[in-house]
Amino acid sequence: MTRTTLPQRLALLGASGALAAGGALMPSSALAAPAPQVAAVHMAPDHQAHPVGNKTTVKTETTTVRRTLFDGRVKVTTTKTVTKTTKDHHGKVVKKTVTKTVSVRILPAPDDD
């Protein structure tokens, strides 16, 4: 004979008790008057106050500086700064990346003829 544990016995007792109670209630509910019809209830859609997921914004700034050198050539320095900010749905910054790129070009002296 197999042994049953206490949780198994309690589960079996609960299941048989539920069946007995359901069987006792069945005849009394069969003679009862029909339940009144209730108007349909419309559920409001879930509140989406905060967007789901992360939101990334990109901000780009470009500056150009032209400087004439002593020998007449023109030095053009272009600086590009890209800032990427990622925020979670609560508005908290999760990740921020700043990339700065500098390019320098030297152009020949303009002809002033």
pLDDT tens string 14-24: 877 777 766 66
Mean of the per-residue pLDDT values of the chain: 79
Residues 6+ apart with CB under 8 A from 96: 83, 84, 85, 86
Over residues 83-99, mean pLDDT: 91
Tell me, what's the pLDDT at 54?
Answer: 86
**Model pTM?**
0.48
Here the tokens at position 82 are 């890209």
Range from 8-17, 62-71, 74-83 carrying the lowest mean pLDDT: 8-17
Domain ranges of the chain: 55-107
Give per-residue pLDDT as tens, 40-65.
Answer: 555 556 555 555 788 889 999 999 99
